[in-house]
């Protein structure tokens, strides 16, 4: 497993999603208080950017077709998406934010 630094803690507002690039991969990092999430910036339903969507209490909503993904439950989807998001581990060390890539 590899880790990639994706920014500083101050780059990620509480309750928001930020699009980042890590080793050529387009990801989204979302923060909910002390909880951090990272996932691909593509809805599993129609491959639209999830960074355009909404984030609330650990749930990402794709604004294009309404699919939601529960990040606290491993990216579990609702229709029309049927595949979960491939979530990545996030680590905060001091002021640095890292994402684990497989």
Q: What is the CATH number of the domain that holds 11?
A: 2.102.10.10
Low-confidence residues of the chain, pLDDT below 70? none
Contact 29, 12 (CB under 8 A): yes
- Its pTM stands at 0.95
Residue with tokens 């339903």: 45
Number of structural domains (the chain) is 1
Distance of alpha carbon 58 from alpha carbon 15, whole angstroms:
9
* CA 67, 31, 28, 52 torsion-angle sign: positive
pLDDT digits (tens, 9 = 90+) for 3-17: 999 999 999 999 999
Domain that holds residue 56: 2-101
């Amino acid at each position: 497993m590899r880790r990639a630094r994706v920014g500083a803690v101050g780059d990620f507002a509480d309750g928001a999603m930020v699009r980042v690039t890590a080793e050529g991969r387009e990801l989204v990092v979302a923060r909910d208080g002390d909880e951090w999430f990272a996932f691909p910036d593509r809805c599993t339903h129609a491959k639209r950017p999830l960074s355009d969507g909404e984030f609330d209490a650990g749930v990402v909503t794709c604004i294009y077709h309404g699919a939601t993904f529960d990040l606290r439950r491993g990216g579990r989807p609702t229709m029309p998406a049927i595949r979960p998001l491939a979530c990545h581990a996030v680590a905060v060390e001091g002021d640095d934010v890292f994402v684990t890539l497989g």
